[in-house]
Amino acid sequence: MTSPDKFHPVIKFMHGLMAIAMIAAIAIILYAGEMPRGPEKFELYFWHKSLGLLLAALIIIRIVLIKKIGKPAPIGDGLKKTMASVAHGLLYLAMLALPFSGLVMSYAGGHSIPFFGLFEIPGAEEKMKTLGGIAHEVHEIGGNILIGLIVLHVVAALYHHFGLKDDTMRRMFGHKK
């Protein structure tokens, strides 16, 4: 498939929606981490898990759509272009690893997974310690890597807009390009 020269509006919408949901999920769990055990902390877990489950579904839809519609290559020459492609690949890897390790971690630990009070996926009846432990490690290490990647991604986007003054930001958030 030849790559299109602009992002499809649905891809732009999904990028924005998922960015907001993901940053919210991260902010909520980091805040919850500072709180003592209790109902308020578990309320925040409820929101983190619900957003995480939503993001698990959205990332699958986004990957399928991008495979179908395609997307433009990053703007820039040689090394910058390669770096952007690698960074986007790593973001996709983290966007898959985080929600799914979260789901496995909760399920294996015997904890239910809520979805904004609409329904709940029950946890395993018998805890699966090894699986839960591995998923927990992936979630914790992956979470920290994802935070680093997002910071880098936003700094790169700002550099393109204000430093290089190219169309990178405009074609993802603007109307024209």
Rule CB under 6 A: which residues touch ligand HEM? 11, 15, 19, 22-23, 25-26, 29, 33, 45, 48-49, 52-53, 55-56, 66, 71, 74-75, 84, 88, 91-92, 95, 98-99, 102-103, 106, 113, 139-140, 143-144, 146, 150, 153-154, 157, 168-169, 171-172
Residue 2, both tokens: 């030849």
**CB of residue 75 vs ligand HEM: minimum separation in angstroms?**
6
Please, which residue, 82 or 144, has the CB nearer to ligand HEM?
144
Q: Least Å distance between CB 74 and ligand HEM?
A: 4
Name which of 13 and 126 has its Cβ closer to ligand HEM: 13
**Rounded least distance, CB 124 to ligand HEM, Å:** 13
- Please, which residue, 47 or 125, has the CB nearer to ligand HEM? 47
Contact 59, 96 (CB under 8 A): yes
Chain center to CA of 131? 22
For the bound state, the minimum distance from the C-beta of residue 126 to ligand HEM, rounded and expressed in Å, comes to 18
Region class of 70: left (phi > 0), else alpha (psi between -120 and 50), else beta: left
Instruction: Give me the sign of the Cα torsion angle 36, 30, 112, 128.
Output: negative
Q: Which two tokens stand for residue 72?
A: 């433009």
Which is closer to ligand HEM, CB of 124 or CB of 171?
A: 171
Strand bridging mode 119-121 / 113-115: antiparallel
Gap between the Cα atoms of 136 and 159, Å rounded: 34
